[in-house]
Each structure stands twice: as C-alpha cells, then as structure tokens.
Structure 1
C-alpha cells in the first residue's frame, strides 16, 4: 500500500518559536515522519512577499533547516530541503494562479491583516503578498500530498488549496490529490506571553512575550515568569475569560507531552506563580536537547548543506511527475 504523504514547511521570517515547535515541528519529528512519507521544507520564497533583508533571509533559512534537523527530522526518513531549490514549486504556482480568482485571494485573512499593516506603515503592498496562497497551494499539490499538518491560522489556506485542486481536476482532468488539514490536539496555537489574545509569532518586532527555540534557559524562565495573567487568583482553564492562564496551561500540557489536559492541570495549582514556575521549567527541559543538537549541527555546515542538497534532489524527483502532468493537462506543449 502507498504510504500517506505529508507536506509542511516553515517560513524564514524570524527565529522559530515555542509556538512553532509545539504546534508543528515536534509532531513532524515524533510522529509524522515515522507514519507517513514526509516532505518538509523551508519556504524561503514566501519570505519575499514583504520588505526583507536578503542576508537575513539566507541566515534564517539555514538556521530553520538546522533547527528542523536538531528537532529530530531524519533525512533518511523524510525529504528536508529549501523551497527555492526545487523549481517545480514556481512552475506549478503560475498554473494555480490561472485557476484561482482575484476574489479568493483577497478574502484570505492573512492577506488582509498583512496588507493593512504594510499600509499603516506607509509602505506599498507587493503583488506576491496577494498571490502567495497560490504558491502555497503549489507547495502542497506538487507532491500528491494527502495531509497538511497546520495551525489554526493556516487552515484557510489549506481549504483554498483543496478548492483549487478540485477545480483544476474538474476543468482539465484528474491530476491532483485533494489534501486535508490536520491539527495537533493541544497547543495548536500558542499565544504571546505578553498578549495572550495574539499568536506567538516569529515575525513580531517585540520579543518579550515570545520564547524562541534557541533562547538561553534563563531567558526562557524570565519570559514565562513575566507572562501576563488575568484578574483574580484562581487558576482556571477558560480561554475567553482567562486567556493568559489558559495559554500557560496549554503550554505546560504540551511541553509535558499532553499527559494531562490543561483543564486537569488547572486544579493542581493554587497560584499563578506556581503555574508559571512549573511551566518555565517544563519548557527549559523540553528545549535543552534541541539547543545542544543545534549547536553541534551549526559546527558542521557541510553536513547541513549535504542534507539540503540530497533533500532537494529527492523532492524534485517526487514533484516533477505531478507538475509535468499539470502542464500537459492545462494545455501546454511539452519541451522538445
């Protein structure tokens, strides 16, 4: 039987965070690559949709790839590569732009939010910010993907990918697998420690509420101990009324492997301080092996380069038949 194929990626627009790890990366390493045919990449082309420093994008792309290896992705079990190293992504993206509509692109929540921020800063909105969901769809569909493990904020993009796959198949003949989104059961969306109504995002300018995966243990403890909680003193899991406490309970539950649900953990604490202390220590313990392995890999860049080179070759071999089939189906002459 053919194994399930999974695709997912990380965008090098900032240092990877605890939210990235608990919501996605740990699951890729501990579960997905073992049960399925995993395709994981650093989606560097997506980082070009807003103003950026080229040197920083290159640096963060390498750092992200190294962290994925340090987190446990095994190049013998999965394909790990950089998006721009595989031309099939952009070859397919234009075909999907020709399948999507302007209205679909403008309805994307992330486009609305990011475009509003760019305009508020007095900047211009790049066309690629509007069209990048088509590139994201190409990332997924180029591999015959069955599952896309995503956080809540990306669910809309996966739904658009499903719509584009079905529309293409109906118009031009069956080419694409229609993928489905999957979500981790706990901490799918870790929130900012200083603003528990906002996602812990790696692209945010202020980092007081963001735990980065390479933060030193003392920095992790300091950020969590200073986390915003809520009025009152009762430790209770209620995302609406007590978002700060709920976020800490979500993090603690996920950091300890989900052995106890956040609601169950709430009853074990008599104060916010005790909850923060246990959460901080659990996160420090969780991230220590990753930081150590990242330091080892960073000292051997030739190994990381070799992994990315082999991963790109493997990815091209997987993607080319799907993309070639899409080119034929939509009416393009094959190369002569």
Structure 2
C-alpha cells in the first residue's frame, strides 16, 4: 500500500465500535504502508454537532485514543482536519464538479436529515464531497472505512474518475477501500439493529475506551439479549441481532472464531458468556483507557503531536494543490 488515509469525527467519547471497526486495524496497517495519515475530522463534526464548546477537547481525546491504541506518531501523521486548510479548498473545487444526482443518492443524508430535510444544513448534504476531498487531497491509495462509509468512498472514486476524464489527466488515483475484521459494524448493546453510536442517549448502549473495568462489566452484564440459549452454530444466530452482535464482539476482541465461540457456549445462558466477554474487553480496552487518561493530563504533548502531523499533511497537500490548480486553470500564486 502506498498511502493510507482515514479519520474519526470528534463528536464524543471514542467507543468500542471505533476501536474494533477502525483504530485497531489502522495500528496493524501503519506497518504495511509507505505513508500513513490519520485525521481527526473536526470540520465534519460541525455538520451535526449542536454544542461546539467541547470540540477542541474531543479532538485531543481522539488523538489520545489513536496513540494509546498503538498508532505511532513517528510512523503516522496524526492531525486535525481544520489545521490543513486545503481540505476545504479542494472540497469546494470537487463540489463544482459533483452532479446533484450523485449527491441525492447518498443514503446517510436522508437518514440524518430525517423528515425535515429543508432544515438540514448544506454541510450535511455536501459532507460526502468534503470526505472525497480528504482522500483525494493526499492521493491516498487505500482508505480503511466502515460499512456505513462505503457509499461515500464510492463517490470519491467516481469523482476521481470524472475529474481525471474531464481534464484528460491521471491526477487522482482511484482509492481502494479496506474493510477488515469480524466486527466492522459494531451494534448497540441496547439494540442489535442499530449501530453503536456516540450520540445514543444511553451510556449502556456502548463501551467507551475510557470506561473503567467495573463500568465494562456492568455494561456487558446489562447488554440486551433474548430468552434463547446460545446456539451451537453461527447459523443459529440469524434473526437474533443482540446475540449475534455480542458473539461478533467476542470474536473480534478475543481472536476466537464465532464458530468456536458458539460451539463452546452452545446451550448455555448468557451469564458465563458475558463474564468471559467482559474479561476479554477489560484485558484489551482498559490499558488503552489508562494511557488515554495519562495523555490527556498533559495536553501540550498531544498538541505537539497534532502540530507535527499537520506540518507533514500541509506540505504534502500544498504540493498536490499546485498540481490541481494548474490542471483546472486557476492562476497560481507567485
């Protein structure tokens, strides 16, 4: 892999879904790529964030989660999206070439805007174009994404191809998605049909990376299940969303296959299963939370990491923006 780019929105506590579906995989990928760019996409956060008072703190918290999980600032650039102004510039440029028909197909806008689309902000509607700019700005070859972002990455691929065709160039490589692991879409602990989310009003819907061991045990103990015992096979989890979600989380955090988990706990109620799941989560998650709390005690060090990452990103982006401006005919600064 030539260059990897991905990011997380700083809209609340980083949770187990972010870790299993994204950050943990990035830790492994950083050793396989020539260059790694891991962004905290704070401009994207503005599309749905009602209270911006804590945005800076949340940005540092995401940076702390990256580092505590094993992303090495010496191998990977960690930076805030807003510290690289070229994201917004390229977002505007790509927006001028993005057909409305393509944007109207984006299902996430429909889901988040709900029945009151006329009250939704332009940023929420144009969000996928800015995401495409995030990727294409650095000519990223591979982009780790969750299942819910696949459609947006397809738009980035379409925009790259359309731009190259329009200007008869090969300026933008068409980025490849990377979707890994048995828990790429971790669901709520209270509703197995809904994605685990920072915005859920129930703290018991998610495991946060800074939860204490006691909190992890309590949340797993209260996680919703059904009345049936655990099945003998993975096929027996069909139409049992809460049970399937917990088995997937167990498999992802432990490295044990879902089939082996079912065989081991077949016919059992959920109590012993939940206890062992909590033990695995404490083993893997609690050290991350401890390190995050340590990093957040001295934010000046985090700010240095973000500044160094932004310096790397700005230099790379500036070079590419010269090429982009030239291709589309903008007058260059001297």
Q: What's the TM-score, normalizing by structure 1?
A: 0.94
Instruction: Please give the secondary structure, in 1, of the residue aligned with 2:314.
Output: helix
Structure 2 portions without partners, runs of 5+: none
Instruction: State the shift of 1:125 in Å.
Output: 0.5
In 1, distance between residues paired with 2:319 and 2:199? 35
In the other structure, the counterpart of 1:94 is 92
Residue in structure 2 matching 1:194, options 190, 208, 222: 190
In 1, distance between residues paired with 2:5 and 2:130? 14
Q: What's the TM-score, normalizing by structure 2?
A: 0.94
Contact 1:25 1:68 in 2 (8 A): yes
In the other structure, the counterpart of 1:230 is 226
Is the aligned partner of 1:153 residue 2:177? no
Residue in structure 2 matching 1:39, options 27, 34, 37: 37
Kindly provide the CA deviation profile for residues 278-335 of structure 1, in whole angstroms up to 9, marking residues without a partner as x. 1111111111211121122112211111110010000111122222211211121112
Contact 1:246 1:262 in 2 (8 A): no
Instruction: State the shift of 1:49 in Å.
Output: 0.8
Kindly provide the CA deviation profile for residues 201-239 of structure 1, in whole angstroms up to 9, marking residues without a partner as x. 122222221111111111111111111112422335345
Q: Pairwise CA RMSD of aligned residues?
A: 1.5
The residue correspondences of 1:256-275 to structure 2 (distance < 5 A) are 256=254, 258=255, 260-269=256-265, 270-275=268-273
Instruction: Please give the secondary structure, in 1, of the residue aligned with 2:317.
Output: helix
Contact 1:248 1:275 in 2 (8 A): no
Is the aligned partner of 1:143 residue 2:138? yes
Instruction: State the shift of 1:132 in Å.
Output: 1.1
Structure 1 portions without partners, runs of 5+: none
The residue correspondences of 1:155-234 to structure 2 (distance < 5 A) are 155-172=150-167, 173-234=169-230
In the other structure, the counterpart of 1:299 is 297
Instruction: State the shift of 1:51 in Å.
Output: 4.3
Contact 2:40 2:80 in 1 (8 A): yes
Q: 1:51 to 1:290 in 2, by over 3 A?
A: closer
Instruction: Please give the secondary structure, in 2, of the residue aligned with 1:181.
Output: strand
Instruction: Please give the secondary structure, in 1, of the residue aligned with 2:320.
Output: helix
Instruction: Please give the secondary structure, in 2, of the residue aligned with 1:80.
Output: strand
Instruction: Please give the secondary structure, in 1, of the residue aligned with 2:331.
Output: coil
In 2, distance between residues paired with 1:132 and 1:84? 14
Which stretches of structure 1, 4 residues or longer, exceed 4 Å deviation after superposition? Answer: none
Instruction: Please give the secondary structure, in 1, of the residue aligned with 2:31.
Output: helix
